[in-house]
Amino acid sequence: MTLEVIILAAGKGTRMRSALPKVLHDLAGRPLIQHVLDTARELSPDRIHVVHGHGAELVREHLADAEDINWVEQAEQLGTGHAVSQALPDVNPDARVLVLYGDVPLIRAKTLRAMLDQSDDSHPALLTAELNNPSGYGRILRDGKGAVTAIVEEAEASQAERQIAEINTGFMACPAGRLQSWLEEIDNSNRQGEFYLTDVVGRAAQAGATVSAVGCQDSNEITGVNSQAELAQVERCFQARQAEALMEAGLGLRDPARFDLRGSLRFGEDCVFDINVVVSGEVRLGKGVSVGPNCQIIDSEIGDGVEIRANSVVEGVKIADQCAIGPFARLRPGTILESGARVGNFVETKNTTLGEDSKANHLAYVGDATVGQRVNIGAGVITCNYDGANKHPTVIEDDAFVGSNSALVAPVTVGKGATVGAGSAVSRDVPPGQLALTRAEQQVRSGWQRPKKEKKN
């Protein structure tokens, strides 16, 4: 039997109090619905249908490169049963349907597989859970023999039914053809005036189909996001899962509760992160990389033995082995550090290559520069790469020494082994091996007296 997934994502999410459609809210760097899509794809379905309504355009725009999605518009949100019926005309009647939710992102493929295993071409299966506080959920009704007979929504439930701890998670698997005919039989004559997908279960039982209920042990998997507080809760849960998996794979985390990964991280042996490190995009670390507290690392490739010290921000960079960065360094996109290079505190680099064993240790801006090997960039050095209209390159050749507080006005080249005296503004090329100096000569006035404070009577 083929599998087709229907993801319900038409709800407005009023309680988020946000202009953004609920399913586009960010969980660990990706929209909620992206997590659900990724999980769906793990099951290799033949098709994925997304029922969308509120913010339809925006949702489609965000997922524009997902070519495997069949978009189904539900103009009015008339209930979960109605939502599923909107998609069914596009579903092969011989397929099995799996219903997922765009705002329930932590469900695991493994759990869904266990449920799918219990449904076949004539029987539906439900994912259920036992909750200490089942309020708000649909309750599972069973007969004397324990067979599932129906689901009663909280709004319709009697006092006695509300005592039932076994709830409907919403996840359901059902043969498409039968789902279609059972959905045709339901109506919206209930307290909420909605077409309840859950009414299908009663229809199925009446038609003599066994409804399997598969228990979900981890209640996090079925947590839906309806508010900012729930979004934060789901984020922490997701982060905890990731941290656990990373530590399992050998990553050292001083405190897994103070680490966030919003993308993917690959790493070699013996990498250790201090607290409050945030990793985004695609990051790859070599062996023995240590990251100090409060660092942000985005889309970067970092070699063996690199030390990123406290409070550094590193984005879009390529760092070779044994480099040292920070504390308080900012490496912007296009920065390449060759092995053994060092970038110290309050140094900003952008679109710059720093050659082997070169260093910019304090208070510098190095942008659009190609720096050779063993170069020393002194404290306070600025590459003036921008003339107000265009950017220009700076070249600093091997073994050059740029004295403190110098301005290199690009385009300009400091030749191999050349020296720029401290406090110079260099606007013409410095020939190899020469000293360039632009500061005014020091004057010494002998006999000069400092003004004295006048005595007041």
Tell me which residues touch ligand UD1 (CB under 6 A).
8-11, 51, 74, 77-80, 82-83, 101-103, 137-138, 151, 153, 167-170, 196-198, 224
The answer to whether 267 and 259 have CB atoms below 8 angstroms apart is no
Distance CA 242, CA 208 (A): 43
In the complex, least distance from residue 295 CB atom to ligand UD1, rounded to whole angstroms: 36
Nearer CB in complex with ligand UD1: 153/315: 153
362 is catalytic: yes
In the complex, least distance from residue 241 CB atom to ligand UD1, rounded to whole angstroms: 20
Identity at 252, one-letter amino acid code: G
Between CA 5 and CA 54, with CA 203 as vertex, the angle to 5 degrees is: 40
Q: Which of 49, 54, 123, 362 is labelled catalytic? A: 362
In the complex, least distance from residue 393 CB atom to ligand UD1, rounded to whole angstroms: 53
Distance CA 279, CA 434 (A): 44
Distance CA 10, CA 72 (A): 10
Q: Report strand pairing: 353-354 vs 336-337.
A: parallel
The answer to whether 247 and 256 have CB atoms below 8 angstroms apart is yes
Nearer CB in complex with ligand UD1: 20/78: 78
Distance CA 145, CA 258 (A): 49
Q: Which residues are CB-contacts of 425 (< 8 A; sequence separation ≥ 6)?
A: 406, 407, 409, 438
Nearer CB in complex with ligand UD1: 164/395: 164
What crossing angle do the helices spanning 176-185 and 199-206 adopt, rounded to 10°? Answer: 100
In the complex, least distance from residue 189 CB atom to ligand UD1, rounded to whole angstroms: 14
Beta bridge partners of 359: 342, 376
Closest by CA to 40, choosing from 83, 104, 85, is 104
In the complex, least distance from residue 77 CB atom to ligand UD1, rounded to whole angstroms: 3
The answer to whether 301 and 320 have CB atoms below 8 angstroms apart is no
In the complex, least distance from residue 260 CB atom to ligand UD1, rounded to whole angstroms: 26
Cα–Cα distances in angstroms (integers) from residue 31 to residues 35, 74, 96, 235, in the given order: 7, 20, 27, 12
Nearer CB in complex with ligand UD1: 137/267: 137
Cα atoms in the 13 Å half-sphere on the side-chain side of 134: 24
Nearer CB in complex with ligand UD1: 197/329: 197
Residue 402 tokens read as: 């740029």
Element (H, E) at 239: helix 228-248
Distance CA 5, CA 3 (A): 7
Nearer CB in complex with ligand UD1: 221/397: 221
Nearer CB in complex with ligand UD1: 81/372: 81
Nearer CB in complex with ligand UD1: 170/378: 170
Cα–Cα distances in angstroms (integers) from residue 165 to residues 125, 129, 145, 153, 268, in the given order: 18, 8, 18, 13, 46
Element (H, E) at 201: helix 199-206
In the complex, least distance from residue 74 CB atom to ligand UD1, rounded to whole angstroms: 5
In the complex, least distance from residue 183 CB atom to ligand UD1, rounded to whole angstroms: 12
Active site residues: 362
